[in-house]
Amino acid sequence: MNVLFIGDVVGEPGRRAVRELLPMLRERHALDYVVANGENSAGGAGITPGTARELFESGVDVLTSGDHLWDQKEVIELLESESRFVRPANYPVGVAGRGWTSVSKSGVPPLAVMNLQGRTFMAALENPFTAGPRVAAEARTVTPCVLLDFHAEATSEKIALSWHLDGQVSAVIGTHTHVQTADERILPGGTACLTDAGFTGGHDGVLGREWRPVVNRFLTLTPQKFGVCTSRVLLHGCVLNLDERTGNARGIERVAEPLPAA
């Protein structure tokens, strides 16, 4: 089974990259499933039913999220009605939405996708190191192929959770920092990991935003409006090859595909 994970989709440039590049990537990598972090797809902050629909229509099978989950009030509609959209599973019981889901296609075993949020330098949700094994066990009742989007700030927390869940999930892919790391590997128990998948959007700025307002914020310590960067658009992520019988990863390859200039 071949799965493409797409790093944080930032605004319209990110959505356009997914729409225009995914057909080529699907053919190149013989993709069975596509998963994307969509928490920044609406204007660079949050997600709406409209931006989710656009990504689904572009060929994304499951959307994950993170700490910008609540930035758009329309997200409640997604949480309550869209089974292909997941929020961090370590929110308290009773919060709208789901922390994991599964998708299936004819001729391909199901894929489960789960989402967790880190706690270091972020909101104090339930400990992902205790929630992770529990959610992974639930997902594995459906399929051995389980992909985790771990939305976290600290590199150490991401790497540590990968070791903690080695052999319990197929892959632990980090998101949130928007900087693609070069540490992809497969751990001894068969779990592929990558500290951060990067982001999909304009890279001639700061983490997908225009660089001048960000610099002004550092210079003046005053509020600035961070517009979405629109130049040098790349799709970041990774391709996973999973053993359909065991769920173990057989390969992980980083993706950094440029969108050709118009």
Give the β-pairing of 249-258 and 233-242. Answer: antiparallel
For residue 257, give the amino acid letter: E
Which of 29, 68, 176, 203 is flagged as catalytic?
A: 68
Q: Is the pLDDT of residue 262 over 80?
A: no
- Put residue 208 in one of left, alpha, beta given phi > 0 → left and psi -120 to 50 → alpha: left
CATH code at position 85: 3.60.21.10
- The candidate with the shortest Cα–Cα distance to 256, out of 158, 176, 180, is 180
pTM recorded for the entire structure: 0.96
The mean pLDDT value for 126-146 works out to: 98
- What tens digit of pLDDT does each residue of 37-71 get? 999 999 889 999 999 999 999 999 999 999 999 99
Q: Is the pLDDT of residue 204 over 80?
A: yes
Would residue 68 show up in a list of annotated catalytic residues for this protein? yes
Number of domains observed in the structure of the chain: 1
* Domain assignment of residue 21, given as a range: 2-258
> How far apart are alpha carbons 85 and 137 in whole angstroms?
20
